[in-house]
């Protein structure tokens, strides 16, 4: 199916070309590989040495898709604003799991390049110049006893000892000693070479005692769990990371408690905006699958798209996808160029677009009838992938409360 109309009249020819090129990659590389990996019974097989997973990563790295968020001045893709949204939507259209995995791979290096340009040559450039997917980042924030509660920055609950992370950093001379565990939900957790670790710097102040460290994962004392076996997004590697008196050079503590809440807000705004864009693509993929199917499925002597109730469902899905794009694109573009960000818009984008993608996928699956429940068609996988999005990067209920707090404070 050809690309649908984008009614943004301000798109440049370069942005239109970007959309076409990324869509081609998503259609020809991401989607077929994700469907193949989804059928594997053991998540360890997904990232096995001979898995097609690595073919996808290498192709993405060679196109520079792993480094799109790093400024062009440093050798990255330099995608921001609308460009970044176009990229994320098309990647999400092809595969939510690969879109997230490839997207998070660059996060530690993007943050490092932004905060510590003196370390770019040593740590970021090997990632930017990598064409074999040998350098991979992950975002290590979620823990067995902490998840969405990390996102309540700015509230009284956030500052108490109950939000003290399970990964603790203790200053020891010219290094920090890291101890603790990150949970099985760390994206790229068992394959990453570097991590952006959110932690507590030896304090009982809870979240306000936090820090952010850039951690090479080959340091002594670091170990991993097994890849997580999940309902959806099965091509997205996720797994635990353990720290046992890991000695981290002090220069790699990128953020200390004085800047922690500000840094958390920036990362949350960027991550939620990215999720809104990705799941706009997921919603669109579900709608397009349903549209194509209803044109060829015959019931009552005519294609089911000629039945009025089906037409009503199709138009409702169309409206929802367009609403997702309008909200998520504006939220991402605004927060990419304004400091501090208006994080309530990113949260609105994430919660609205993920919920919409699940609803559109559910409606689409229903239009397939019994076939929608089989693995013969992509909609079954799209449905499961969309369901996972209501939980990841913060559960939508808790995110909505955090967003409401921001609305109350800023309006």
pLDDT, tens only, 318-351: 999 999 999 999 999 999 999 999 999 999 999 9
**What would the CATH number be for the domain defined by 13-128?**
1.10.540.10
- What is the CA angle 287-289-294, rounded to 5? 95
Residue ranges with strand state E in 126-266: 137-140, 168-172, 175-182, 194-200, 210-216, 222-224, 241-249, 253-255
Q: How far apart are CA 44 and CA 22, in angstroms?
A: 28
pTM of the model: 0.96
The per-residue pLDDT of the chain, averaged, comes to 94
Residue 149 has a pLDDT of 76
- What is the CA angle 386-47-38, rounded to 5? 35
pLDDT, tens only, 63-103: 999 999 999 999 999 999 999 999 999 999 999 999 999 99
Q: Please report which residue ranges of 242-259 form alpha helices under DSSP H.
A: none
Transcribe 255-280 into DSSP letters: E-TTTHHHHHHHHHHHHHHHHHHHHH
Sequence-separated (6 or more) residues with CB below 8 Å from residue 286: 317, 357, 360, 361, 363, 364, 365, 379, 382, 383, 386
Place of tokens 């209920």: 397
Residue 164 has a pLDDT of 77
Residue 252 has a pLDDT of 98
Domain 137-258: give its CATH superfamily. Answer: Butyryl-CoA Dehydrogenase, subunit A, domain 2 (2.40.110.10)
**What would the CATH number be for the domain defined by 261-410?**
1.20.140.10
Q: How far apart are CA 346 and CA 275, in angstroms?
A: 9
Mean pLDDT by 10 residues, the chain (411 residues): 85 96 98 98 97 98 97 93 97 98 97 95 97 98 84 64 83 96 97 96 67 97 97 98 98 93 92 97 98 97 98 98 98 94 96 98 98 95 98 93 91 84
Closest CA relative to residue 180, chosen from 168, 194, 195: 168
Helix (H) or strand (E) holding 19, with range, is helix 13-25
Note whether 152 and 402 are within 8 A (CB): yes
Residue 162 has a pLDDT of 65
Place of tokens 């040998």: 134
Residue 205 has a pLDDT of 53
Residue 396 has a pLDDT of 96
**Domain coordinates in residue numbering, the chain:** 13-128, 137-258, 261-410
Helix (H) or strand (E) holding 302, with range, is strand 302-303
């Amino acid at each position: 199916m050809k690309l649908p109309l984008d009614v943004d009249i301000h798109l440049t020819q370069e942005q239109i070309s970007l959309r076409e090129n990324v869509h081609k990659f998503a259609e020809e590389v991401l989607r077929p590989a994700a469907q193949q990996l989804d059928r594997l019974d053991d998540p360890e097989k997904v990232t096995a040495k001979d898995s097609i997973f690595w073919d996808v990563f290498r192709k993405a790295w060679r196109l520079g898709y792993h480094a799109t968020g790093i400024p062009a001045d440093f050798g990255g893709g330099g995608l921001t604003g609308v460009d970044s949204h176009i990229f994320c939507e098309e990647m999400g259209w092809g595969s939510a799991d690969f879109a997230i995995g490839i997207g998070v791979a660059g996060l530690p290096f993007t943050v490092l390049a932004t905060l510590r340009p003196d370390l770019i040559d040593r740590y970021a450039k090997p990632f930017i110049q990598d064409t074999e997917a040998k350098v991979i980042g992950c975002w290590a924030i979620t823990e067995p006893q902490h998840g969405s509660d990390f996102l309540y920055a700015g509230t009284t609950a956030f500052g108490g000892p109950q939000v003290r992370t399970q990964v603790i950093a203790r200053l020891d001379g010219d290094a920090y000693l890291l101890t603790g565990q990150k949970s099985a939900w760390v994206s790229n957790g068992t394959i990453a070479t570097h991590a952006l670790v959110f932690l507590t710097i030896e304090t009982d102040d809870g979240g306000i005692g936090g820090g952010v460290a850039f951690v090479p994962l080959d340091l002594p004392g670091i170990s991993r769990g097994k890849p997580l076996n999940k309902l959806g997004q099965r091509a997205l590697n996720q797994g635990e990371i353990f720290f046992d008196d890991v000695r981290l050079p002090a220069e790699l503590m990128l953020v200390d408690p004085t800047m922690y809440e500000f840094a958390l807000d920036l990362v949350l705004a960027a991550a939620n905006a990215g999720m809104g864009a990705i799941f706009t693509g997921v919603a669109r993929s579900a709608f397009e699958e349903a549209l194509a199917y209803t044109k060829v499925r015959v019931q009552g002597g005519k294609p089911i798209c000629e039945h009025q109730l089906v037409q009503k469902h199709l138009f409702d899905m169309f409206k929802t996808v367009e609403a997702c794009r309008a909200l998520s694109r504006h939220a991402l573009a605004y927060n990419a160029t304004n400091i501090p960000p208006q994080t309530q818009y990113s949260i609105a984008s994430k919660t609205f677009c993920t919920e919409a993608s699940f609803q559109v996928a559910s409606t689409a699956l229903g239009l397939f009838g019994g076939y929608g429940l089989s693995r013969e068609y992509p909609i079954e996988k799209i449905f499961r992938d969309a369901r996972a999005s209501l939980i990841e990067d913060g559960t939508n209920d808790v995110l909505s409360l955090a967003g409401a707090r921001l609305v109350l404070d800023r309006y």
